[in-house]
């Protein structure tokens, strides 16, 4: 019995988001936030502050993980304070980024757990997961006379699977594409861990709320604690700096190093913004973006980077998919198709060119934009014309100013 | 008006007389009820009942044309604002209704009329074959064939999907004949009740095979070879392989040709498919071969073929119904205002033998107004009425203004269908 508790305590110190925290660390988890924070931040609390600043800086930079942290009680405090911070910062874009970074970090940690611990974690989460000491086979493929047997030690009840995958747009995680029998899906360890990542992400996203009296009050009370206030303001500043960069630019560059985002059509801008905010993209949106950027000859790496902010980002897989799409050589959708897919954002962004069209000298008439690539061509043409006239600003300087 | 008064009266009489056999749905006080009365084309929603007796009292008084209860459970079902009802989960509702899929018999008994050009014809179409207009009025009929197809879909849903793949306990499954063109299945399970609409959509895709990826399931082309499925994986590919085996073993060459032609596969490809059927059957039944090379079958043709197979394997469910967590379904034991038939609950063992239009077991007979002695005179008021076969007898076809004398249940059926009127 006590062995079991020891194990659980160890797990909690590593993964404080587990539900049993409330039981086993009741004394901390249900403490009044003000009391809790004032105790923790009674002194300068430099080391804990440093850890937070590092985490937020990494989140704002859209890094893919955050350095390992000690497995002890301080980790539990860290997690609880993190939740409070996110709650009172109350900025969706921040919450998204923290949720992504924190959950990706958890993914890395969980991937290294042994099967038994992983199973215990699932138990703690009250997930209906089965563990098989001897792996079970669920799929046979034969490619070029070579038998490929798929085996796993884990199965998960379909409802738990559906709940954990409902925010993932990935075809691989659609129920219809998964092996299942008698209610349980056969799932590889790494995929199970991926679902746990999604759980952790959801845990943090849950914090998102409308600004109301509760949030305002809590913020006011907590900011009376000087060391905490100091940390809070640091984070705020960091964000303000980052935000500016993020609102005015979309960090992609054309092959010759010239920025192009200012001449992108609303439909693309919209998807890029969503990506930057770290919200999920649908399959269609991803494909459209990839084909679009391919058409403009963006380097693979830059395209992959655009996706790095997404919650389910996996560099290897994305690189493969982006390459694959490139080899297919498709052109991006036309405006008409985009409209039917509800991806045209002309009116949302009240874009003149999209809404009103342009005057075509060649045809001697007003014409509508029919393709987002043409939008880019037209804008490119216009802006280079302007530049030509406006020789006051040499090209290089302009580029420097922006980057 | 007179018709409606008449129908309301006999519906009321039914509810009064049969009140003891009207079943209770589970958690009755947490369900939302809705009714469509006879005198107005409105749905009276957001009605709640304490218990079964108060519900019965209400329907005896109203004798409603249609009667529904929610698949969902609510804290206060009578609240008119959905967000304030206090949603407590929803049963999984599957509706299988021939309205939503093709059956061959529709060419015999479903009549459409174009509202633009007045042309008309038979069968299931989405736009007018003359002028292309989408404005059609339809007169959909029933026959034992389409009802049988619907029944088989329910059986397939249970025994090919719910039980083997999802391990659903049979006791949690409630089935009912809808009283018109199909069947309902309701699954009452604590965990399933918690599924959101999006999560239900995933289930719907699984049951229909929509959005399946053949590549993910292992189908691929490498150089000039097509690598197909092995048939021993615990996923959809096994269902596909089994169906292909069944076709290869049971269909005649002509039937295969018909099927592949329907799928839009070229005659060349069909010919080579038939030429290689023995060989293909051998490959597909063997454990260690999965090279599916057939002349003229490129990857695109294979996909067309596989999509066609998926359509056959999947269940013809009405997708919006299974996804909607606030959906209302017909109340068991109530009468369907378009037929006068009872919404008949069925146990799984009863389902097998059940014949809605010719049921021998009195307790299960949905045609509750059946009477061979009691005759009624009615007048046809639709341009054309297809033939109706009920209880081993055949009535019609009829044309406008015909005055006919038919047994009570047929008269009620035709008046409910709004193709006849009392005289
Ligand atoms: S009009 Fe075309 S280019 Fe403009 S937003 Fe719509 S789809 Fe994009
Ligand atoms: Zn017409
Ligand atoms: Zn029919």
State mean pLDDT over B169-197: 96
Q: If DSSP codes are grouped into helix, strand and coil, which group holds residue A255?
A: coil
Q: Is A345 in the pocket of ligand 1 (CB under 6 A)?
A: yes
B residues 176..195 contacting A (CB < 8 A)? 191-192, 194-195
Residue that is written with structure tokens 């049951």 in the block? B207
Domain boundaries, chain B: 2-98+145-203+318-368, 107-139, 220-313
Instruction: Please give chain A's pLDDT, 403 residues, in tens.
Output: 567 778 888 899 999 999 999 888 888 888 888 999 998 888 777 888 888 999 998 898 877 777 767 788 888 999 999 999 999 999 888 998 899 999 999 999 999 999 999 999 999 999 999 999 999 999 888 877 788 889 999 999 999 999 999 877 778 889 999 999 999 999 999 999 999 999 999 999 988 877 788 899 999 999 999 899 989 998 988 887 776 554 433 434 444 445 667 788 999 999 988 887 777 888 889 889 998 888 887 888 888 888 887 877 888 888 888 888 877 667 788 888 888 888 999 988 888 889 888 776 656 667 788 888 888 888 877 776 654 443 333 333 322 332 2
What 8-state DSSP symbol labels residue A344? -
What stretches of B263-313 show up as alpha helix (H) in DSSP?
A: 267-275, 277-285, 299-313
Q: What is the pLDDT of residues B207-266, one digit of tens each?
A: 999 999 999 999 988 888 999 998 889 999 999 999 999 999 999 999 999 999 999 999
Write out chain B residues lying below 8 Å of A162, CB-based. Answer: 195, 199, 202-203
Greater confidence (A5 vs B130) lies with: B130
CB B377 within 8 A of CB B405: yes
- The full set of domains in chain A, from first to last, is 3-111+203-244 (no CATH), 128-194 (3.30.200), 261-384 (no CATH)
Mutate to test the pocket of ligand 1, among A289, A340, A346, A371 (most ligand atoms within 8 A of CB): A346
Ligand 3 centroid distance, CA of B122 (Å): 12
Write down the pTM of the prediction: 0.80
pLDDT over 70 percentage in chain B: 100
For domain B2-98+145-203+318-368, the question of CATH label 3.30.420.40 is answered with no
CB B235 within 8 A of CB B291: no
- Which residues have CB atoms below 5 A from the ion given as ligand 3? B 105, 143, 145-146
- pLDDT of amino acid B100: 86
Domains B2-98+145-203+318-368 and B220-313 share a fold: no
User: Strand B66-70 vs strand B328-330: parallel, antiparallel, or unpaired?
Assistant: antiparallel
- pLDDT of amino acid A260: 67
CB A79 within 8 A of CB A38: no
Distance CA B97, CA A349 (A): 43
State whether residue A126 sits within 8 Å of chain B by CB: no
Tell me how far apart the terminal alpha carbons of chain B are, to the nearest angstrom: 13
Helix, strand, coil percentages, rounded to 5, for chain B: 40, 20, 40
- Number of other CB atoms surrounding residue A352 within 10 Å: 10
Which residues partner with A358 through β-bridges? A367
What 8-state DSSP symbol labels residue B334? P
The values of phi and psi at residue B174, to 5°, are -115, 130
- pLDDT of amino acid A336: 84
- Asked if the model's pLDDT at residue B299 lies above 80, the reply is yes
Q: Please give the helix or strand (H or E) that residue B390 lies within, else none.
A: strand B388-390
- pLDDT of amino acid A31: 85
CATH number for region B220-313:
1.10.8
Distance CA B423, CA B411 (A): 11
User: Which residues have CB under 8 Å from A262's CB, separation 6+?
Assistant: A379, A383
State whether residue B164 sits within 8 Å of chain A by CB: yes
CB B38 within 8 A of CB B62: no
CB B56 within 8 A of CB B24: no
- pLDDT of amino acid B254: 96
| B82 band by pLDDT with thresholds 50, 70 and 90 | confident
Q: Is A332 in the pocket of ligand 1 (CB under 6 A)?
A: no
What is the secondary structure of A258-288 as a DSSP string? -B-GGG--HHHHHHHHHHHTT----HHHHHH
Nearest-by-CA chain A residue for B193: A159
What 8-state DSSP symbol labels residue B314? S
Which residues partner with B120 through β-bridges? B113
Q: Which of B64, B59, B82 is nearest to B72 (CA)?
A: B82
Which residues partner with B184 through β-bridges? B95, B176
Q: Please give the helix or strand (H or E) that residue B377 lies within, else none.
A: strand B375-380
Choosing among B199, B213, B222, which should be mutated to test the A contact, i.e. which has the most A CBs within 10 A? B199
CB B400 within 8 A of CB B421: no
**Cα-trace Rg, chain B:** 24
The answer, yes or no, to whether the previous bond of B397 is cis (omega within 30 of 0) is yes
Distance CA B31, CA A343 (A): 39
Write out chain A residues lying below 8 Å of B213, CB-based. Answer: 171, 174, 177
Q: What is the pLDDT of residues B11-26, one digit of tens each?
A: 999 999 999 999 999 9
- Whether ipTM exceeds 0.85: yes
- pLDDT of amino acid A12: 92
SS (H, E, C) A117-154: HHHHHHHHCCCCEEEEEEEEEEEEEEECCEEEEEEEEE
Q: If DSSP codes are grouped into helix, strand and coil, which group holds residue A334?
A: coil
What are the tokens at A127? 């997930």
Distance CA A109, CA A132 (A): 22
State whether residue A189 sits within 8 Å of chain B by CB: no
Residue that is written with structure tokens 């955050």 in the block? A66
- For chain B, the average pLDDT equals 94
CA torsion, points B406, B410, B413, B416, in degrees to nearest 10? 20
Our CA-based measurement puts residue A98 at a distance from the nearest CA of chain B, in whole angstroms, of 25
What are the tokens at B174? 């409630």
CB A368 within 8 A of CB A375: no
- pLDDT of amino acid B31: 97
- pLDDT of amino acid A248: 36
Distance CA A379, CA A261 (A): 11
Q: Is A354 in the pocket of ligand 1 (CB under 6 A)?
A: yes
Our CA-based measurement puts residue A162 at a distance from the nearest CA of chain B, in whole angstroms, of 6
Query: Cα separations (Å) of A399 from A301, A330, A380, A396?
Result: 20, 30, 15, 5
Q: If DSSP codes are grouped into helix, strand and coil, which group holds residue B227?
A: strand
Nearest-by-CA chain B residue for A179: B235
């Amino acid at each position: 019995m006590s062995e079991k508790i020891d194990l659980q305590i160890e797990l909690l110190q590593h993964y404080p988001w587990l539900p049993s925290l409330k039981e086993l660390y009741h004394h901390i988890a249900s403490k009044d936030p003000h009391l809790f924070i004032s105790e923790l931040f009674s002194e300068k609390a430099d080391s804990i502050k440093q850890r937070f600043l590092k985490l937020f800086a990494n989140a704002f930079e859209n890094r893919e993980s955050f350095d390992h942290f000690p497995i002890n009680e301080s980790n539990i405090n860290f997690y609880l304070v993190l939740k409070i911070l996110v709650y009172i910062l109350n900025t969706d874009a921040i919450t998204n980024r923290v949720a992504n970074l924190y959950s990706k970090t958890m993914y890395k940690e969980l991937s290294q757990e042994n099967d038994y611990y992983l199973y215990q974690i699932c138990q703690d989460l009250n997930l209906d997961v089965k563990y098989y000491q001897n792996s079970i086979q669920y799929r046979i493929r034969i490619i070029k006379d070579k038998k490929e047997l798929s085996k796993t030690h884990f199965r998960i009840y379909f409802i738990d699977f559906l709940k954990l995958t409902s925010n993932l747009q990935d075809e691989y995680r659609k129920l219809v594409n998964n092996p299942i029998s008698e209610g349980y899906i056969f799932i590889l360890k790494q995929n199970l861990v991926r679902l746990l990542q999604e759980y952790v992400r959801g845990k943090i996203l849950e914090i998102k709320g409308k600004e109301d009296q509760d949030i305002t009050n809590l913020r006011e009370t907590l900011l009376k604690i000087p060391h905490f206030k100091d940390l809070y303001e640091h984070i705020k500043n960091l964000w303000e700096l980052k935000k500016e960069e993020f609102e005015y630019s979309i960090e992609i560059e054309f092959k010759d190093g010239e920025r192009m985002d200012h001449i992108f059509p609303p439909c693309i801008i919209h998807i890029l913004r969503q990506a930057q905010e770290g919200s999920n993209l649908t399959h269609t949106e991803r494909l459209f973006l990839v084909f679009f950027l391919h058409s403009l000859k963006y380097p693979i790496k830059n395209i992959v980077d655009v996706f790095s902010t997404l919650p389910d980002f996996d560099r290897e897989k994305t690189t493969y998919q982006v390459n694959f799409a490139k080899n297919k050589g498709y052109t991006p959708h036309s405006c008409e198709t985009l409209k039917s897919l509800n991806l045209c954002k002309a009116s949302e962004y009240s874009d003149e060119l999209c809404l009103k069209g342009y005057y075509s000298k060649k045809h001697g008439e007003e014409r509508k934009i029919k393709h987002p690539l043409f939008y880019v061509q037209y804008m490119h043409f216009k802006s280079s014309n302007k530049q030509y006239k406006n020789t006051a600003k040499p090209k290089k300087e302009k580029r420097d100013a922006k980057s | 008006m007179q018709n409606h008064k008449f129908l309301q009266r006999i519906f009321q009489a039914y509810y009064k007389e049969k009140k003891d056999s009207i079943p209770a749905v589970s958690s009755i006080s947490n369900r939302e009820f809705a009714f469509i009365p006879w005198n107005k084309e409105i749905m009276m929603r957001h009605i709640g009942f304490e218990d079964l007796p108060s519900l019965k009292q209400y329907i005896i008084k109203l004798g409603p044309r249609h009667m529904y209860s929610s698949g969902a459970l609510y804290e206060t079902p009578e609240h008119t604002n959905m967000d304030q009802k206090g949603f407590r989960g929803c049963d999984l509702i599957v509706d299988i209704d021939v309205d939503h899929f093709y059956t061959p018999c529709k060419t015999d008994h479903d009549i459409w009329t174009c509202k633009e050009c007045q042309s008309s014809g038979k069968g299931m179409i989405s736009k007018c074959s003359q002028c292309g207009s989408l404005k059609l009025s339809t007169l959909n009929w029933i026959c034992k064939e389409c009802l049988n197809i619907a029944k088989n879909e329910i059986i397939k849903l249970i025994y090919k999907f719910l039980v083997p793949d999802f391990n659903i306990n049979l006791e949690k499954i409630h089935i009912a004949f809808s009283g018109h063109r199909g069947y309902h299945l309701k699954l009452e399970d604590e965990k399933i009740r918690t599924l959101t609409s999006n999560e239900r959509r995933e289930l719907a895709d699984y049951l229909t095979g929509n959005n399946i990826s053949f590549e993910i399931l292992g189908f691929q082309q490498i150089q000039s070879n097509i690598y197909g499925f092995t048939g021993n994986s615990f996923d959809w590919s096994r269902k596909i392989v089994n169906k292909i085996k069944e076709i290869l073993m049971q269909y005649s060459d002509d039937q295969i040709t018909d099927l592949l032609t329907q799928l839009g596969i070229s005659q060349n490809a069909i010919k080579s498919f038939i030429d290689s059927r023995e060989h293909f059957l051998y490959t597909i039944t063997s454990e260690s071969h999965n090279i599916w090379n057939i002349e003229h079958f490129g990857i695109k043709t294979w996909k067309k073929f596989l999509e066609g197979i998926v359509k056959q394997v999947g269940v013809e469910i009405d997708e919006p119904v299974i996804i909607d967590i606030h959906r209302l379904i017909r109340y068991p034991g109530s009468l369907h205002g378009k037929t006068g038939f009872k919404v008949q609950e069925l146990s799984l063992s009863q389902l097998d033998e059940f014949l809605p239009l010719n049921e021998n077991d009195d307790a299960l007979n949905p045609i509750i107004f059946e009477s061979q002695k009691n005759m009624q005179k009615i007048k046809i008021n639709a341009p054309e009425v297809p033939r109706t076969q009920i209880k081993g007898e055949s009535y019609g076809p009829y044309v406008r203004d015909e005055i006919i004398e038919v047994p009570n249940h047929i008269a009620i059926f035709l008046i409910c269908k709004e193709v006849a009127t009392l005289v």
